[in-house]
Amino acid sequence: MAFNKDDFLAAFLERSAEGIERRGLAADQYAQEQKAAAERNAALVTKRKQTAEQAAQLGKRLIAMGVGKGEVLTAMSSGAGGIQELYNKIDAARQQRGVTTLGKDDIAALVEMPNLPSLQAQYADIDKVDLSEFAAKTYGAVGEAPAAPAKQVGLFGSLLGFGGKARVDAQLGKQQYGDGMTYAEINAAARNADYQSMFGDATMTFTDVKYFDNDAALDFTKQISTVAAEALDTPAAQAYLTQVKRAAIESGAEPNDVTDAVKKAQKEIQEDAVKPFIEMAAQTYANGNFFGNKYAMKVIESVTSKEYIKELRGSFNEDEPVVQEDAVITEDQDVTPPETPKEPVKPLVTKPTSADPNDPFPPAPELDEEGKAIVENALSGKAIFRKGEEKYTDKYTKAQWDKMTRQQRRERGLPESPLGALNFYFREDIEEMIAAPKKNLEIKRNIDKSVYKINIKGRGTYHVTADQLKSIDDSYFRGSSPAIVIEEYEKDEKKAKNITKPVLKAIGVE
């Protein structure tokens, strides 16, 4: 039978048409399945995104409290509830101490992270790690969509309906579903676990630190006074005092000398009684600012001696305070430190902006991560605060907002109505929040005098040298209500008390 090319072509085209239709239907079915899956997965991914956002917010607040970025990432990687656990611990300690920011030593006394050096080695520059992105990966809120196939089917293959699945994947990778994610991204994220540690070796161990706060100090001083008084009322003490008095009289001592001998014996009895009580308190509050409480130290000295306090400090590796004379700051003390090459001043809590010169409402420079952490820490204490990005703008003032149309406000992510602006913070509000830390850090980064004053919250004002000021970590000067405020002396102003080694140690200076 002779070959009939017309019949062959007709049969070939018929089979090809059937194949094209079958592959097209399969691609359509695949697209429908993927879209349906995205619709089912959307709620799960949204919940994970909310969890990740909450974790990132807690991380930013911890940074504003003095915790390092490495510690925050380690906490986030130590378990699903690690960041919340660290926040609860640090926040409780901060409130108990009555400060906004904790020092490095305070934090080290609360939590141990033995694998922190490994984390720091894993990330070349931890400070550049974006907390929101890190949290999103940790809590399964992002995923990688399927990669494009290595080989393309070509034009002829496409005409025959091949590569339909790859084309669907490409379309779903571009087609937005909601909340800023495509169908493919939602399905990819849903395939993740609810939690996956980005640093598998991360661990945290917490220590319960008892702080020697005002209530504890008041209770201690009351009890030590009671112990000292009751020690003299015991039969053994009375017998000893009688014996001392009789011995002094029999030795022919003058009446005043007899009285002094009895007083000395009373002091010995009281010292023996209170020392175990004092040492127990020092052990209990060793990491809780026991030696930093001036009133308690005075009470201890009144029933013991300066030598005893010095010995007690030594047993707990606490340096004794340095006694220094009063003085007046004179012009010759306000000299510039020895000439050293100065680094360029770093921009403070703002990022450069590329504003459109034709924009009728030019935005101010955007806050950087440090500035946003300061603001969000301040807003976190307000009842209206839920999500920082929706409650303030660091770019526009209220005056600019007043002149905008609703559409212009919407385009800039601002509240559209006067009601929405009632509980909203504009640029001028934000500048007020960062004024104190900004002034602090500008002075610290541009030290040009040999001496300064610093006011430590809960402790008082101290005289410090330029070198001492440089050695204090920047975290103490941040926050909407900084733990330490730097002040410059006026000419002929009386010098503040010199800062002591224990106070320096308490704020992280060895």
pLDDT tens, position by position, 207-259? 777 777 778 888 888 888 888 888 888 898 899 889 988 888 888 888 888 88
Q: Is 180 left (phi over 0), alpha (psi -120 to 50) or beta?
A: left
For the purposes of burial, counting CB atoms within 10 Å of the CB of 119, is it exposed (0-12), middle (13-18) or buried (19 or more)? buried
pLDDT value of residue 399: 92
pLDDT value of residue 482: 79
Q: Is 479 left (phi over 0), alpha (psi -120 to 50) or beta?
A: left
What is the C-alpha separation between 350 and 353, in angstroms, rounded? 9
pLDDT value of residue 157: 44
Confidence bin at 400 (pLDDT 50/70/90):
very high
What is the C-alpha separation between 323 and 30, in angstroms, rounded? 81
Confidence bin at 385 (pLDDT 50/70/90):
very low
Average pLDDT, integer, range 429-448: 84
Looking at the chain, the whole-number percentage of residues with pLDDT higher than 90 is 4
What is the C-alpha separation between 233 and 275, in angstroms, rounded? 17
If you ran DSSP here, which 8-state letter would residue 248 be given?
A: H
Residue 337 predicted with pLDDT over 50: no
Residue 333 predicted with pLDDT over 70: no
107 close to 66: Cβ distance less than 8 angstroms: yes
Strand order in the sheet with 484-487: 460-465, 451-456, 484-487
**In sequence order, which ranges of 3-130 are alpha helices (DSSP H)?**
5-64, 69-77, 82-97, 104-110, 116-122
Contacts of 304 (CB under 8 A, 6+ apart): 271, 274, 275, 278
pLDDT value of residue 510: 65
Contacts of 80 (CB under 8 A, 6+ apart): 139, 194, 195
What is the C-alpha separation between 31 and 173, in angstroms, rounded? 11
Q: Which of 33, 27, 32 lies closest to 160, judged by CA? A: 27
45 close to 39: Cβ distance less than 8 angstroms: no
Residue 453 predicted with pLDDT over 90: yes
- pLDDT for 478-492, tens place per residue? 766 777 899 999 888
Q: Lowest-confidence range among 56-60, 71-75, 382-386, 485-489?
A: 382-386
Looking at the chain, the whole-number percentage of residues with pLDDT higher than 70 is 71
* Predicted structure pTM score: 0.46
Torsion angle in degrees (nearest 10) through CA of 262, 264, 265, 266: 90
Q: Which tokens sit at 359?
A: 């924009």
Average pLDDT, integer, range 74-89: 87
**In sequence order, which ranges of 78-213 are alpha helices (DSSP H)?**
82-97, 104-110, 116-122, 131-138, 154-159, 164-174, 183-190
Strands (E), 350-481: 451-456, 460-465
